[in-house]
Chain A
Amino acid sequence: GENVEQHPSTLSVQEGDSAVIKCTYSDSASNYFPWYKQELGKGPQLIIDIRSNVGEKKDQRIAVTLNKTAKHFSLHITETQPEDSAVYFCAASWGNTGNQFYFGTGTSLTVIP
């Protein structure tokens, strides 16, 4: 089955700096890679996703890059703000309805004002 590894487990950055979280996956059949933000006591929120036919996707301060050959993808947050502080999870899936999602172990991001 698929194995998704995520690093780092914790990350602290100064407000305004960039944050990068990296994930690797093992199954080359995975073709859909979402990122989720989870605040304390809440469910994960989809913040950005990418399909395997795309190398990069941006949405304002958030971007995701994918390297299919190396089987890794990364989340980039620029100009971080205190409200970006949360736990971030990456995931990999075969991308069709009903297929299981495999989640990374999470990264606790703290943005220091």
Chain B
Amino acid sequence: GAVVSQHPSRVICKSGTSVKIECRSLDFQATTMFWYRQFPKQSLMLMATSNEGSKATYEQGVEKDKFLINHASLTLSTLTVTSAHPEDSSFYICSAQRTGSEKLFFGSGTQLSVL
């Protein structure tokens, strides 16, 4: 099966610091990766679409300078939450779409807590 590895699974940081989350497709190439945010008992909220070698496309209301996305290779995308604040605390999930396929596979998520 297709495996998407996301790290870290949980991170606690102080307000004002930056946090980097990695998303790797382990056994397939992913031209497109998506980043989501999920609040408790709610659905997935798309933050941005990341295409390998291109700038990410951000959804309305998502600050691109705060949520930096890099998709430098076909197997790795990173999300950096810059100058994190308590309101950024959330569950962040990445997903990877196998190149040439419509199937979408998710990472295990990162629970970010900003103190």
Contacts and interface: CB of A to CB of B under 8 A. Distances in A.
Given A41-B109, A46-B103, A105-B43, A97 B97 contact: yes
Interface residues of B, number: 27
Interface in A8-43: 32, 34, 36, 41-43
Most A CB within 10 A of own CB, among B44, B93, B95: B44
A101 B104 contact: yes
Contacts of B101: 97
A44 B4 CA distance: 11
* A: contact size bracket: 20 to 34
A101 B108 contact: no
14 contacts: A36-B106, A42-B109, A43-B106, A43-B107, A44-B93, A46-B103, A91-B104, A97-B32, A98-B31, A98-B97, A100-B49, A101-B34, A103-B43, A105-B42
Interface of B: 4, 6, 31-32, 34, 41-44, 46, 49, 51, 93, 95, 97, 99-109, 111
